[in-house]
Amino acid sequence: MPLNNEFIQLFPEEIKKNYNDVLALRESLIRFKDKGMGKNSMLENLEKLREISDSETEDILLELMDFVVGYCNPNLSIF
């Protein structure tokens, strides 16, 4: 399964499982990075999920996007 498809299929389940643990979700993003997903692809996929999410999930996705772009503590930046 291509990595982008895997992300779109699996990451919503990760959000449900770790809804109140943004650092666990960050670790999931790092696993996708380690599999070869680039920064731009990750942002595009998070944006796709954001477009179809409710407002609470959207807030979580925005926090995760901050980790991807580096708008966070440098120790927590993914790329």
Residue-wise pLDDT for 34-71, tens only, equals 999 999 999 999 999 999 999 999 999 999 999 999 99
Q: How many percent of the chain have pLDDT more than 70?
A: 99
For 24, phi and psi rounded to 5 degrees?
-65, -40
Cα–Cα nearest to 34, from 22, 26, 45: 26
pLDDT of residue 1: 62
Mapped onto helix, strand or coil, the DSSP state of residue 19 is coil
Model pTM score: 0.93
Average pLDDT, the chain: 96
pLDDT of residue 5: 95
